[in-house]
């Protein structure tokens, strides 16, 4: 196991290097650049502009800028924001916990609901429950996050406030003013954005689990378990479900980027102070240092997510032997 972990982590280094080159190249091609706002302010002389270009390294070729950025990141320095003048690592450290709370809550909600829904749909194939779930899954796939968020705000905050004088749920932020740090107030603010972020994952995972379960339920070992007199509950939960988990684990390891993209949109709708809003603001400003920092952190999380998914195979299927991995 230890050798497998070391091998995978070493393999991740050239992968992350290639990803960083591609990201830096793409960001250099974007239409909005930080120097557009820094250089073309009123009352700046040509000398001032030259000093700004030299200070931030904008006067150097893109490959040189990348090598400087790479040298800094080796020392765990993700650079400094061109506009807030705060270290990128500090900005990410401030926002990452907020995004993690939202993403983990939404993902946990998705798994808690999708797994039993998918299993029951497979066991009761073509029943009324299965048909209702199938219809609901198609709606869940089709509804954009921003539209669903706006509808929930109108139905559960704006309309009740206009007619009843109070909001069922808040419309924005993590806390009410003066309630910072209150876990109950946080949970109240978390309900709507977590539901919005979880809906598409519930739809996807419930259908995926249903399909995997239907495939496993037709295998010989399931028929053998039934022939031995095991209860249907034991056959489904202990034999079929555990084998159906393997493809789901692979999907979960690859879904971190999609979860972050969903959080980016959801955080904008609900004014959630997380990395999604930080990324959005940096993209509008052309703040390459912040954008690169966020994207590299995301790339590292993807690599770690895939590694955790591989390790989870050993729990789901004891036949997996990590020592033999190449």
Domain containing residue 164: CATH number = 1.10.3720.10
Integer Rg of the chain from CA: 24
Number of domains observed in the structure of the chain: 2
Q: Based on the domain organization, do 101 and 222 belong to the same domain?
A: yes
Tokens 């194939």 correspond to what residue? 125
CA gap 158, 171 in Å, rounded: 8
Q: Based on the domain organization, do 35 and 108 belong to the same domain?
A: no
Query: Does residue 204 sit within a domain?
Result: yes
Structure tokens at 222: 């399931």
Structure tokens at 51: 């000093």
Q: Based on the domain organization, do 270 and 173 belong to the same domain?
A: yes
Q: Based on the domain organization, do 176 and 49 belong to the same domain?
A: no
CA distance readout (Å), 293 to 26, 72, 109, 169, 297: 14, 11, 29, 33, 6
Q: Based on the domain organization, do 151 and 117 belong to the same domain?
A: yes
Q: Based on the domain organization, do 219 and 264 belong to the same domain?
A: yes
Given 242, 258, 274, which residue is the final one in a domain? 274
Query: Does residue 317 sit within a domain?
Result: no
Q: Based on the domain organization, do 37 and 152 belong to the same domain?
A: no
Q: Would you give the end-to-end CA distance of the chain in angstroms?
A: 12
Q: Based on the domain organization, do 105 and 54 belong to the same domain?
A: no
Which contacts qualify for 79-87: CB closer than 8 Å, 24 or more apart?
Answer: 79/289, 79/290, 79/292, 79/293, 80/289, 81/282, 81/287, 81/289, 81/290, 82/34, 82/38, 82/56, 82/285, 82/287, 82/288, 82/289, 83/34, 83/37, 83/285, 83/287
CA gap 81, 95 in Å, rounded: 14
Beta bridge partners of 87: 80
Report the Cα 7 to chain-centroid distance in Å: 26
Query: Does residue 4 sit within a domain?
Result: no
Burial class (CB in 10 A: 0-12, 13-18, 19+), 81: buried
Query: Does residue 119 sit within a domain?
Result: yes
Q: Based on the domain organization, do 114 and 56 belong to the same domain?
A: no
Given 74, 102, 120, which residue is the final one in a domain? 74
Per DSSP (E only), the strands in the chain are none
Query: Does residue 150 sit within a domain?
Result: yes
Per-residue pLDDT 10s for the chain (326 aa) are 677 778 888 888 898 899 999 988 888 776 666 666 667 667 777 787 788 778 777 778 888 888 988 888 888 888 888 888 889 999 999 998 999 899 999 999 999 999 999 999 998 888 999 999 999 999 998 899 889 999 999 988 888 877 777 778 888 888 888 778 888 999 999 999 999 999 999 999 999 999 988 888 888 888 888 888 888 888 887 778 877 887 787 777 778 777 887 888 898 899 899 888 888 888 888 788 888 899 898 888 888 877 877 777 666 666 666 554 44
Given 257, 274, 291, which residue is the final one in a domain? 274
Q: Based on the domain organization, do 207 and 132 belong to the same domain?
A: yes
Residue range(s) defining the domain that contains residue 106: 91-274
Q: Based on the domain organization, do 126 and 260 belong to the same domain?
A: yes
Between 183-217 and 128-142, two packed helices, what is the crossing angle to 10 degrees?
120
Query: Does residue 298 sit within a domain?
Result: no
CA gap 38, 56 in Å, rounded: 10
Q: Based on the domain organization, do 249 and 141 belong to the same domain?
A: yes
């Amino acid at each position: 196991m230890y050798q497998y972990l070391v091998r995978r982590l070493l393999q991740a280094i050239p992968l992350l290097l290639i990803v960083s080159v591609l990201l830096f190249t793409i960001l250099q091609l974007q239409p909005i650049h930080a120097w557009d706002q820094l250089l073309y302010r009123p009352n700046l002389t040509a000398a001032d502009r030259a000093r700004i270009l030299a200070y931030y390294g904008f006067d150097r070729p893109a490959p040189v800028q990348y090598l400087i950025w790479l040298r800094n990141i080796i020392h765990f320095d993700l650079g400094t924001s061109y506009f807030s003048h705060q270290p990128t690592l500090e900005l990410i450290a401030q926002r990452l916990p907020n995004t993690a709370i939202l993403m983990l809550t939404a993902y946990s909600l998705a798994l808690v609901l999708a797994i039993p829904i998918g299993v029951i749909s497979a066991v009761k194939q073509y029943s009324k429950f299965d048909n209702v779930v199938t219809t609901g899954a198609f709606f869940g796939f089709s509804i954009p996050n921003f539209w669903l968020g706006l509808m929930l705000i109108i139905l559960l905050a704006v309309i009740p406030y206009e007619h009843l004088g109070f909001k069922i749920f808040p419309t924005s932020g993590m806390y009410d003013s003066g309630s910072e740090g209150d876990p109950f107030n946080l949970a109240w603010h978390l309900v709507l954005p977590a539901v919005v972020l979880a809906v598409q994952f519930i739809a996807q995972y419930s259908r995926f689990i249903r399909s995997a379960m239907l495939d496993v339920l037709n295998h010989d070992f399931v028929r053998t378990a039934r022939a031995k007199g095991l209860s249907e509950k034991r056959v489904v939960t202990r034999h079929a479900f555990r084998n159906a988990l393997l493809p789901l684990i692979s999907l979960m390891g690859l879904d971190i980027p999609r979860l972050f993209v969903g959080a980016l949109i959801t955080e904008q709708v609900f004014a959630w102070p997380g990395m999604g809003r930080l990324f959005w603001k940096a993209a509008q400003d052309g703040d390459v240092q912040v954008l690169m920092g966020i994207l590299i952190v995301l790339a590292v999380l993807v690599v770690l997510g895939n590694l955790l998914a591989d390790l989870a195979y050993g729990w789901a299927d004891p036949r997996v032997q990590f020592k033999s991995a190449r």
